[in-house]
């Protein structure tokens, strides 16, 4: 007689990709998975229905049931609703009870994608030590700071080392764009003139994957730097005919040491470090800053693997006058573990989700 098997559905629903997994609830064995592009998903509910139909066809058994679903989503979660999806407006405002009814799953839980990353880092030891301070502090507050389609931030905190961490999500990526120098203001003006900002003024206009090509276009046209790129950058000469992507730009910076590409990467990481300083001074994460997201741990990973290259990021982060000594007490780690949000969803389901 075939035994009954319970499964759990987890997902990482980002602005670029929809990644779904079904695992056994007893031992987290991966049973079925699928990745797709978010832009091809006109309805999240339909995407989930189609995925579950494929899963059911693949196992060819009636003795199975998905008891729980924990879905990390790129937006704020308020109660049982995701009210705003800036990067995925076509999905509307998903509500947990509607998805439970429509999908036939006993318990559906949406959590912010960086809350999922936060739970994932609790047990993640696959990281690069970018900066390890001489004076260690307590490990009660950690800050997750990730750049992918946009910027995501989550604070993990506990009262003492004998307690569990709690996640405190934020929409720090939607804070109004900061100007740390004249070039930042000129870049924002450029985004508005080109229509790249789409009516937005948030910091994710800079700290998101799409900003890398925009920065290259900006610097190539910026009067104070244009003559230098005309002389020193092979990439500059092909820009008019090239569909520039973040991957092409980071390749030109990493492998070809192109002057325009390295200038863009420097600007991007300088800005990321300065904004990170603002957040660190508000939260004092002496348990560590955990850098995540595809732009940092894939595209720009080479920077953080090289102590010489990463020194610039560290210096920009710590360079805040009288607060420098405080900032030097905060460890910085680049998380390179794959499926971090998925692991966070599993941990959330295991410890926090009751059916």
Cα–Cα distance measured from residue 66 to residue 59, given in angstroms and rounded to the nearest whole number: 13
Mean confidence (pLDDT) of the chain: 93
Cross-strand pairs, 334: 128, 291
Would you tell me which CATH number, out of the four given (2.40.50.140, 3.40.367.20, 3.60.20.30, 3.40.50.2300), belongs to the domain 127-336?
Answer: 3.40.367.20
**pLDDT on residue 1:** 41
Most confident range, picked from 80-89, 252-261, 344-353: 252-261
pLDDT over 60 (residue 2): no
Indicate if 127-336 has the same CATH topology as 5-112+340-351: no
pLDDT over 70 (residue 3): no
- pLDDT tens per residue across span 150-160: 999 999 999 99
82 CA to centre of own chain:
18
Please, are residues 198 and 168 in contact by the beta-carbon 8 Å criterion? no
pLDDT over 90 (residue 240): no
Confidence of residue 323 (pLDDT cuts 50, 70, 90): very high
pLDDT over 50 (residue 253): yes
Q: Among 244, 284, 281, which Cα is nearest to 260's?
A: 244
**pLDDT on residue 355:** 63
Lowest mean pLDDT among 97-111, 245-259, 338-352: 338-352
Structure tokens at 164: 């569990």
**pLDDT on residue 199:** 87
Token pair 């992918």 in the structure block, residue: 148
**pLDDT on residue 224:** 84
Q: What is the dihedral of CA 89, 94, 99, 101, to 10 degrees?
A: -120
What's the whole-number mean pLDDT along residues 68-77?
A: 94
- pLDDT tens per residue across span 116-134: 999 999 877 789 999 999 7
Burial tier of 252 (Cβ tally within 10 Å: 0-12, 13-18, 19+): buried
Cα–Cα distance measured from residue 108 to residue 98, given in angstroms and rounded to the nearest whole number: 9
Phi, psi of 255 (to 5 degrees): -95, -25
- For domain 5-112+340-351, is the CATH number 3.30.420.40? yes
pLDDT: which is higher, 326 or 241 = 326
Please, are residues 54 and 147 in contact by the beta-carbon 8 Å criterion? no
Cα–Cα distance measured from residue 61 to residue 58, given in angstroms and rounded to the nearest whole number: 9
Please, are residues 236 and 220 in contact by the beta-carbon 8 Å criterion? yes
**pLDDT on residue 241:** 86
**pLDDT on residue 73:** 95
**pLDDT on residue 59:** 83
Domain parsing of the chain, residue ranges: 5-112+340-351, 127-336
CA end-to-end distance (rounded Å), the chain: 27
pLDDT over 90 (residue 265): yes
Counts for the chain of helices (H) and strands (E), in that order = 14, 11
Q: Among 296, 237, 241, 297, which Cα is nearest to 261's?
A: 237
Q: What is the dihedral of CA 82, 79, 339, 296, to 10 degrees?
A: 70
Structure tokens at 104: 């036939």
Cα–Cα distance measured from residue 191 to residue 177, given in angstroms and rounded to the nearest whole number: 12
pLDDT over 90 (residue 226): no
The radius of gyration computed from the CA coordinates of the chain, to the nearest angstrom, equals 22
pLDDT over 70 (residue 280): yes
**pLDDT on residue 78:** 94
Polymer length of the chain: 355
- pLDDT tens per residue across span 27-65: 889 999 999 999 999 999 999 999 999 998 888 766 678
- Cα torsion angle, 285, 288, 294, 300, sign: positive
Confidence of residue 5 (pLDDT cuts 50, 70, 90): confident
């Amino acid at each position: 007689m075939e035994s009954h098997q319970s499964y759990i559905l987890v997902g990482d629903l980002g602005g670029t990709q929809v990644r779904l997994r079904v695992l056994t609830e007893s031992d987290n064995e991966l049973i079925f998975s699928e990745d797709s592009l978010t832009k091809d998903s006109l309805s999240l509910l339909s995407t989930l229905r189609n995925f579950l139909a494929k899963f059911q066809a693949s196992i060819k058994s009636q003795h199975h049931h998905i008891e729980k679903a924990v879905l990390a989503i790129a937006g704020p979660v308020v109660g049982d609703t995701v009210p705003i999806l800036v990067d995925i407006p076509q999905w509307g405002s998903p509500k947990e009870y509607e998805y439970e009814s429509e999908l036939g799953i006993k318990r559906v839980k949406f959590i912010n994608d960086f809350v999922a990353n936060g739970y994932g880092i609790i047990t993640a030891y696959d990281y690069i030590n970018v900066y390890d301070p001489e004076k260690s502090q307590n490990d009660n507050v950690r800050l997750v700071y990730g750049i992918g389609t946009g910027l995501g931030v989550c604070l993990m905190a506990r009262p003492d080392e004998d307690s569990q961490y709690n996640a405190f999500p934020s929409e720090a990526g939607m804070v109004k764009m900061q100007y740390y120098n004249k070039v930042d203001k000129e870049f924002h003006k450029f985004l508005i003139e080109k229509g790249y900002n789409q009516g937005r003024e948030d910091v994710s206009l800079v700290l998101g994957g799409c900003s890398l090509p925009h920065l290259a276009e900006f610097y190539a046209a910026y009067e104070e730097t244009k003559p230098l790129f005309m002389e020193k950058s092979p990439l500059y000469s092909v820009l008019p005919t090239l569909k520039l992507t973040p991957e092409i730009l980071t390749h030109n910076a990493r492998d070809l040491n192109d002057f325009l590409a390295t200038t863009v990467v420097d600007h991007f990481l300088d800005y990321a470090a300065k904004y990170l300083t603002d957040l660190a001074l508000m939260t004092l994460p002496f348990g560590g800053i955990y850098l995540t997201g595809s732009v940092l741990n894939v595209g720009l990973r080479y920077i953080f693997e090289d102590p010489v290259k990463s020194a610039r990021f560290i210096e920009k982060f710590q360079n805040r006058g009288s607060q420098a000594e405080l900032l030097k007490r905060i460890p910085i780690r680049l998380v390179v573990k794959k499926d971090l949000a998925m692991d966070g969803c599993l941990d959330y389901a295991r410890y926090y989700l009751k059916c």
